[in-house]
Amino acid sequence: MLAIRPRLASRLAAWVALSPALAVLVVVYIGCTTWTIWISMTASRMLPSSNFVGLRQYEALFANERWTVSVSNLVIFGTMFMIASLALGFLLAVAIDQRVRAENLLRSIFLYPFSMSFVVTGLVWQWVLNPTFGIERIGKNLGFADFKFDWIVRQDMVIYCLVFAAVWHAAGLVMAIMLAGLRGIDEDIWKAARVDGLPTWRVYVSIVVPMMGASFATASVLMATSVVRLYDLSVAMTNGGPGIASEVPAKFVMDHLFERQNIGLATAAATSMLITVAAVVGPFLYWQSRRRAAAGAH
C-alpha cells in the first residue's frame, strides 16, 4: 500500500503537468477537425449553418474543375518533387562526402535556399523564369534570337516550374540530412569494401544506400509535409496561373474559405486532403510498428 501511494501521487502530478498540452490537443486538433468534418456535410456558405446535406458538398467538389486540376497538380508536383529533391540532395551529400576542401562553404551555400521562405523563393524564381526579363531575355541578349524559355507562362509546363523552385529550396536540407547519415557509417565498412575491391559507386549503391533507411525516411517525411502544405510557393510564383494551371489543393481551401466565402466546399476539400493523408500515413505507421515489434521480438 505504502509503495503504491507515492506512485499514485507522482502519476497525478504527471497528469497535471500534461494537462495544458492535453487540452490544446483535444480542443484545437480534435475539436477543430471534428468541426471541419461536420461543416463539410452542411450547406454552409458564407457563415456556418447546421443544415445537413450529407455528401452533397463532396459531389460538387469533385465536379469542380479547379479542384481536379489542383489534385492532379499535387500528384505531379509531389512525385517529381520528392524524387528530385531526394536524389539531388543525396548526390550533393555524396559529392561533399568526398572530403572536398571547401566543405563548410559548400554546405552553407547548398543549405542557404532553405533559409528563405517559400514566398521569397517563389518571387525570385518568378523573376528568373519570366520570359521578358529572366533567362529567356539573357539568352536573347547573348545573341540567340529565337531562344525561348517560357514554361512559367505555359499551362502545360508551369507545374514543372513549381517543382524546380521547390527542389532548389529543399535540396540543401536533404543534403544536410543525408550527409549526417553518410558520416554515421563506420569507417571500417569503407575499408572492408576497399579490401574487397568494390568500386566506390558500387559501395554507395549496394551497401551505403541500404544502410541509410533512416535518413531517407526522415527526409521523405519532411518533403511530404511540404508537398501537402504547398500553398505559398504557388501564390507567390504564379498565383495559380496561367488560368488555373498551377492551382493546388491548399490554395483551393484558402481561397474558398476567405475569398469566395464557400465554407462548405472549403471544408469538404480540407476533409478530402485529411482523408488522403490519413490513408497514406496510417498504413505506414502500422507497418512501422509491426516492424518494430518484430525487431523487438528477436
Partner 1 sequence: MSAAMTQASSQAMSHAATDKRCDVSVKDVEISFGRHVVLEKLSLDIAQSEFIVLLGPSGCGKSTLLNAISGLLDVNAGQIWIGGRNVTWEEPKDRGIAMVFQSYALYPRMSVRENMSFGLRVAGMPANEIQKRVADAATMLKITELLDRKPSQLSGGQRQRVAIGRALVRDAGVYLFDEPLSNLDAQLRAELRVEIKRLHQRLRATMIYVTHDQIEALTLADRIAVMKDRVIQQLDTPQKIYREPVNRFVASFVGSPAMNFMPGRVERGATGATFSLGDLSIPIQGYPFKSPGLTGAAVLGIRPEHVLSGAEAGPNAFNAQVEMAEPMGADTLVWCRTPSGASFSVRVDSGPSIAPGDTLPVSFPVGTLSLFEEGPDGRRL
Which residues form the interface with partner 1 (CB under 8 A)?
186, 188-189, 191-199, 202, 206-207, 210-211, 298
Nearer to partner 1 by Cβ, of 123 and 207: the residue is 207
Which residues are CB-neighbours of 267 under 8 A, at least 6 positions away?
A: 36, 37, 39, 40, 44, 57
Q: b/e for 124-161, b at 16 or more Cβ within 10 A?
A: bbbebbbbeebbbeeeeeeeeeeeebebbbeeeebbbb
The distance in angstroms from the start CA to the end CA of the chain is 37
List, in sequence order, the alpha helices (H) in 97-153.
Answer: 103-111, 118-129, 135-141
Nearer to partner 1 by Cβ, of 180 and 209: the residue is 209
Which residues are CB-neighbours of 10 under 8 A, at least 6 positions away?
A: none
Shortest distance, position 223 Cβ to partner 1, whole Å: 23
Report helix, strand or coil for 222: helix
Nearer to partner 1 by Cβ, of 65 and 187: the residue is 187
Report helix, strand or coil for 52: strand
Secondary structure E strands in the chain: none
Nearer to partner 1 by Cβ, of 124 and 207: the residue is 207
In whole angstroms, what is the distance from residue 258 CA to residue 266 CA? Answer: 9
Shortest distance, position 272 Cβ to partner 1, whole Å: 38
Shortest distance, position 295 Cβ to partner 1, whole Å: 8
Nearer to partner 1 by Cβ, of 185 and 224: the residue is 185
Shortest distance, position 84 Cβ to partner 1, whole Å: 25
Nearer to partner 1 by Cβ, of 20 and 210: the residue is 210
Shortest distance, position 102 Cβ to partner 1, whole Å: 19
Shortest distance, position 188 Cβ to partner 1, whole Å: 4
